[in-house]
Amino acid sequence: MPEIMDGKKLAEEIKAEVRKDVMLLNERGFAVGLAVVLVGDNLASEQYFLAILRSCKAVGITAYKHKFPDSVTINELLNVIHSLNSDERINGILVLLPLPKRINPRRAINSITPEKDVDGLGAISVGRLAAEESTFQLFREEYREAIEECKFMPSLSSFIPCTPFGVIRLLEFYGVELKGKHAVVISKSLAVGKPLSTMLLVKEATVTVCHRETKNLPVITKQADILCTATGQQGLIKGDMVKDGVIIVDIGIKVLPDGRIVGDVDFDSVKDKASLVTPVPGGVGPVTIAMLLENTVKSARRSKFLKSPLMM
């Protein structure tokens, strides 16, 4: 049986640190706030929002819910995001996807100011990640040094996307060395596959990215030392597609008609081959939320610094 990578355990550790940081800020008179923008009645988004709300409460962050009917216009959404950008109570803004088809999600996400783009999906944040200006956050010691040495560099105000950042943290938590390993990522999405492959490259893994048009997927997945999959296709990864000892990170989430949540990996058929594997649920999901809270409190610390007497 493989060792199970328990995302809840890591998430609790991250949240305990976030809670300490929130308390320190509170003692100095600063509250920490996260705004979540929800459109329509998407059940998965509602469930995600409730999970965020519970976690915010546990660490002392105030969550502000901005819910709109499916009929909302892009203009109404942009107006709300602009007002949240200048709202001093808000340190992070998250627009839950999907938005109704007639609304271009990039317009909504790009209207979040980079300083509050705690999910790291706006064009500025994506660009800074690609240019390796914000990847120092993947190295915690370097992050501290960067804070000390160049407080005013704009890249310090950019965040890296929560889900792939959470994957890296989970692998590190379980002592997985990334340098020199062959990491195969199944997804080229903006939210998961692309930033995850960039982060794995920064960590000096050799990275192969696969997608729907990839030919002979099993030939590639069989070469993976570390296999990360984020397609939402139940049972895509089976035991005969992986090699012995593989480390599998299942990021996919699919809600079945009976309410059960499953990932991309057929756990029963990989369990005799994998050395480490994430469960679904309870793997990457809880860590994603913890990273969102960590990014929000980082944003609050930075804005507190900007409001300090030093800056007046």
Ligand X SMILES: NC(=O)c1ccc[n+]([C@@H]2O[C@H](COP(=O)([O-])OP(=O)(O)OC[C@H]3O[C@@H](n4cnc5c(N)ncnc54)[C@H](OP(=O)(O)O)[C@@H]3O)[C@@H](O)[C@H]2O)c1
Binding residues vs ligand X (CB under 6 A): 163, 186-189, 191-193, 210-214, 230-233, 236, 251-254, 284-285, 288
> Please, what is the minimum distance in Å from the beta carbon of residue 89 to ligand X?
26
| Closest distance of CB 42 from ligand X, Å | 11
Nearer to ligand X, 153 or 173 (CB): 173
* Shortest distance (Å) from residue 306 CB to ligand X: 30
Q: How near is the Cβ of 278 to ligand X at its closest, in Å?
A: 9
Q: Would you call 189 exposed, middle or buried from its count of C-beta atoms within 10 A (0-12, 13-18, 19+)? A: middle
Q: Based on CB atoms, which residue is closest to ligand X, 25 or 167?
A: 167
Of 54, 194, 30, nearest in space to 120 by CA: 194
Q: Cα separation of 255 and 25, whole Å?
A: 38
Nearer Cβ to ligand X (51/146): 51
Contact 184, 221 (CB under 8 A): yes
Residue 214 vs 275, nearer CB to ligand X:
214
CB of 44 to ligand X, least distance (A): 7
Backbone dihedral angles phi then psi of residue 86, each to the nearest 5 degrees: -105, 10
| Closest to ligand X by CB, 163 or 295 | 163
DSSP 8-state secondary structure symbol assigned to residue 296:
H
Closer to ligand X by Cβ: residue 213 or 268 = 213
Task: Considering the complex, state which of residue 120 and residue 285 has its C-beta at the smaller distance from ligand X.
Answer: 285
* Helices of type H across 158-273: 162-173, 193-202, 217-221, 267-270
Closer by beta carbon to ligand X, 85 or else 269: 269
As measured in angstroms, the least distance from the Cβ of 241 to ligand X is 11
Q: Amino acid letter at 107? A: R
Rounded to a whole number of angstroms, the minimum distance from the CB of residue 152 to ligand X is: 32
CB 19, CB 59: distance < 8 Å: yes
Q: ω into residue 286 within 30 of 0, thus cis?
A: no
Nearest distance from C-beta of residue 190 to ligand X, angstroms: 7
Residue 191: name the closest of 48, 33, 53 by CA: 48
Instruction: Give the residue with the Cβ less far from ligand X, 235 or 245.
Output: 235
Provide the Cα torsion 102, 108, 110, 115; round to 10°.
-170
How many Å is the maximal CA-CA distance in the chain? 63
Q: Where are the alpha helices (DSSP H) in the chain?
A: 7-27, 43-59, 74-85, 105-110, 123-130, 140-149, 162-173, 193-202, 217-221, 267-270, 284-306
Closest residue to ligand X, Cβ-based? 232
CB of 285 to ligand X, least distance (A): 4
Q: What are phi and psi of 181, to 5 degrees?
A: -80, 155
